[in-house]
Amino acid sequence: MPDFDQDALYSLPLTVPSFDVGPSRTLRLSALLRWQQEAGERQVRRFHMDWEPLAAQGLAFVLTRGCGKVYRLPRVGEEVTLETWSDRVERAQFYRGYRLLDGAGAPLTESFAAFCLVDVVSHRLTRPTPELAARLPTGSRETGCPLPGHLKDLPPLSPAGEWRVHRSSVDLNRHLNNTVYADLLTDFLPEPLREAPIKGYALQYLTEAREGELLTLWYGAREGDHYVEVRAGETRCFVGRISL
């Protein structure tokens, strides 16, 4: 593997706050995803590829898939470092890696996310120009996590409940923030499993959910993997898998 381009790496030191943990006093999955979202945004801002410059060009990054391995979620008050890097660009996909490290530098989580560029008016996928793709330094790193794929061959799903999108869950893109789906994924697990340690996750974002929409949630399980699908009417918005 070639030498890693250090310009592709961004490090964010953090202390786990009390408002980002649950009853188990460990970091919530949704909080980890928010941290990753913020670290990635801070890095691309250095290269003028954050939300505002892209919007001025009629473009936006859209998160399509994510996956991660969890070795241990940090506890409240623990000091950690989140590393993120732009791993590669393939066709219309931008792959971003993340690694959460403990105070000794050992990995707590390793994960990847896939983003694509879309036209903000038509919502159609847009391949980046060579000039735009070259603006962001990239460098692949070895991790214990594969690149995110598509979630297929789901187990049978049963109705698990309903949830309405309120304004407090809508982000600057005017749709349900992607990190909220992680809360839905864990909230709609069967009660005995909701505080079980997470070993891994896979997420696939299909369609935007808008403020005011009533979402239905569907649950199924297979061999230690638990699936939640989120629908707006007959439209699939999200499907996620969590491994316990």
Taking the C-alpha atoms of residue 185 and residue 200, their distance in angstroms, rounded to an integer, is: 12
What pLDDT score does 1 carry? 43
Taking the C-alpha atoms of residue 85 and residue 186, their distance in angstroms, rounded to an integer, is: 27
Picking from 134, 169, 190, the residue at the C-terminal end of a domain is 134
**How does the average pLDDT of the chain come out, rounded?**
92
The segment with the largest mean pLDDT, out of 42-51, 135-144, 197-206, is 197-206
Query: Are 12 and 105 in the same domain?
Result: yes
pLDDT score of 3 more than 80:
no
Number of folded domains in the chain?
2
Q: Is residue 101 part of a domain?
A: yes
What pLDDT score does 101 carry? 98
Query: Are 128 and 167 in the same domain?
Result: no
Picking from 66, 100, 134, the residue at the C-terminal end of a domain is 134
Query: Are 128 and 162 in the same domain?
Result: no
Between 17 and 57, whose confidence is greater?
17
What pLDDT score does 99 carry? 98
Mean pLDDT of 158-167: 96
Q: Residue 155: which residues within 8 A CB-CB, separation 6 or more?
A: 220, 221, 222, 227
Query: Are 21 and 106 in the same domain?
Result: yes
CATH code for the domain in which residue 201 is found: 3.10.129.10
Query: Are 130 and 52 in the same domain?
Result: yes
What pLDDT score does 29 carry? 97
Q: Is residue 126 part of a domain?
A: yes
Q: Is residue 143 part of a domain?
A: no
pLDDT score of 209 more than 50:
yes
pLDDT score of 31 more than 60:
yes
Sheet with 93-101: strands ordered across: 9-15, 79-90, 93-101, 107-119, 59-70, 200-205, 235-243, 225-232, 214-222, 158-164
Q: Is residue 146 part of a domain?
A: no
pLDDT for 120-151, tens place per residue? 888 888 888 888 888 888 888 889 999 999 99
* Residue 32 φ/ψ region, left for φ over 0, alpha for ψ in the -120 to 50 degree band, beta for the rest: alpha
Q: What percent of the chain has pLDDT over 90?
A: 72
Label residue 173 by pLDDT band (50, 70, 90). confident
Boundaries of domain holding 171: 158-243
Query: Are 122 and 183 in the same domain?
Result: no
3-state secondary structure of 18: helix
Query: Are 54 and 128 in the same domain?
Result: yes
Query: Are 209 and 118 in the same domain?
Result: no
Q: Is residue 140 part of a domain?
A: no
What pLDDT score does 5 carry? 63
What pLDDT score does 140 carry? 87
Q: Is residue 109 part of a domain?
A: yes
Between 55 and 76, whose confidence is greater?
76
Query: Are 121 and 166 in the same domain?
Result: no
pLDDT score of 4 more than 70:
no
The first and second tokens of residue 241, run together, are 């898998």
Query: Are 129 and 164 in the same domain?
Result: no
Burial of 234 by CB count in 10 Å (0-12 exposed, 13-18 middle, 19+ buried)? exposed
pLDDT for 63-99, tens place per residue? 999 999 999 999 999 999 999 999 998 888 899 999 9
Q: Is residue 153 part of a domain?
A: no
Query: Are 81 and 192 in the same domain?
Result: no
What pLDDT score does 226 carry? 97
pLDDT score of 6 more than 70:
no
What pLDDT score does 16 carry? 98
Q: What predicted TM-score, i.e. pTM, was given to this entire model?
A: 0.93
Q: What is the DSSP letter of 139?
A: -
Query: Are 63 and 107 in the same domain?
Result: yes
